[in-house]
Amino acid sequence: MAWKICEKFFHSVEKLEMSMELRLKTVSGALALVMLATPGFGVPAIAHDPIKVAEKGAPLGVRATVHDAAARVEAVSLFYAASRGMTPFRAAMSSSGAGVWYATIPAHMMGPGAQMFYYIQAENADGEVKETDWQTVKLVESGVAPEAIPSASSVARQAQQQAVPAKAGAAATAAPPPAKTGKAKYLLPAAIIVGGAAAIGGALAIATYDSGGGGGGDEDPALDGNYGGSYDVCFTPTSVSNTATVCDSGLVNAYVENGSVEIVGLWGAEVLSGSLNGNLFSIVKEVAATVKFPAAHLIVTGEIAGEACTARVDGYSTDAANPGNLGGRLDMTRR
């Protein structure tokens, strides 16, 4: 008799466990559906006050706060370019704790054009990615920029202060919040913004992308000629093990004929060819390593005005063992 009572008891317990397991699965499934249906759930959230004005020739600090309710924030990156038509440079943002991340746009990228463009990307441990809109920064000459423009060092300092709670009994010194501004929408998504535009001189000019070879440009016989002068180019490594900047300078020539531009002497034996768009040109080329510089994605954007031909050099290393950015300038006159 006793064993029958025990058998009924165990059957009751087994049914109860099955019922609880079924309810748990039901609740879990419903919760998963709610999570999937919730917009942005599981994707990093980026809080950032866009920078609207900055000083030419000075490094620009960019700060953002990133949180994710579902997974650990794995990496945050800052992408920036002299125009939205160029492949942007990438800078890994550093974490100062409490979800605060910061990075710096180097000084040589801040000009000579009138604008700088950037956006922020965050990725969590599940591989889910979130990006901000492209932001437009107006670049002004030294002394013109308002005091509210954050320098790279002040952004890093403020990020660290924001991440560390104030000690008991001590007055916390809060950094003044930047002015609230609206975000600007762009039609081109970041994933397809490649080639085709460059910041020239003191204004933003759109140039025709030419991957190589002459011809096809705007022909203006008044611009034809041999322009000679000098170049200065520096490579700034971004790896932890290599921090020494390497620079090079020398003689360079630009040959302009029938709407085509050929630059010789800038990068070893490489001939950089492109087309004129009015009096502007943009050349993009993958170049091999030289004695001083690694293999690179090189961007040369220039302008011919009167007897002068000036150009800006940008780029980045394509050598995974020696990452870094390139920056420089060409100054030439008609011969």
Do the domains spanning 45-163 and 207-334 agree at the CATH topology level?
no
Relative to beta strand 53-55, strand 135-140 is: parallel
pLDDT of residue 119: 95
Model pLDDT for residues 306-317, shown as the tens digit of each residue: 899 998 888 888
* Matching residue, tokens 């699965």: 25
For residues 248 and 280, is the Cβ–Cβ distance under 8 A? no
Higher-confidence residue: 130 or 17?
Answer: 130
Q: pLDDT per residue over 91-105, tens digit each?
A: 898 887 788 888 888
- Angstrom CA distances, 326 to 156, 164, 196, 292, 298, stand at 23, 35, 19, 12, 8
Instruction: Judge whether 173 and 161 are in contact, CB under 8 Å.
Output: yes
The whole-number average pLDDT for the span 215-233 is 81
pLDDT in tens, 235-260: 988 887 877 888 999 999 999 999 89
Instruction: Name the more confident of 230 and 34.
Output: 230
**What is the pLDDT at residue 131?**
94
pLDDT at 118 exceeding the cut of 70: yes
> Where does the pLDDT of residue 69 fall: very low under 50, low under 70, confident under 90, or very high at 90 and above?
confident
User: 197-212 b/e with 16+ CB inside 10 Å = b?
Assistant: bbbbbeebbebbbbee
Give SS3 for 322.
coil
Per-residue exposure over 88-117, b if at least 16 CB sit within 10 Å of its own CB, e if not? bbebebebbeebbbbbbbbebbbbbbbbbb
pLDDT at position 44, please? Answer: 92
Q: Which helix (H) or strand (E) holds 231?
A: strand 225-237
Q: What pLDDT does residue 18 have?
A: 67
- In terms of CATH, what superfamily is 45-163? Immunoglobulins (2.60.40.10)
Q: Are the beta carbons of 263 and 275 closer than 8 angstroms?
A: no
Tokens 């980026």 sit on residue: 46
CATH number for 207-334 (one of 3.40.1000, 2.40.160, 2.30.30, 2.60.120): it is 2.40.160
Q: What are the domain boundaries of the chain?
A: 45-163, 207-334
Whether the per-residue pLDDT at 32 is higher than 70: the answer is no
If you average pLDDT over every residue of the chain, what do you get?
A: 74
Among 78, 75, 77, 73, CA closest to 51 = 78
pLDDT of residue 191: 28
CB 134 within 8 A of CB 197: no
Instruction: Measure CA of the first residue to CA of the last residue in the chain; give whole Å.
Output: 116
Determine the Cα–Cα distance for residues 87 and 21; give it in Å rounded to an integer.
Answer: 53
Q: Which two tokens stand for residue 285?
A: 């080329």
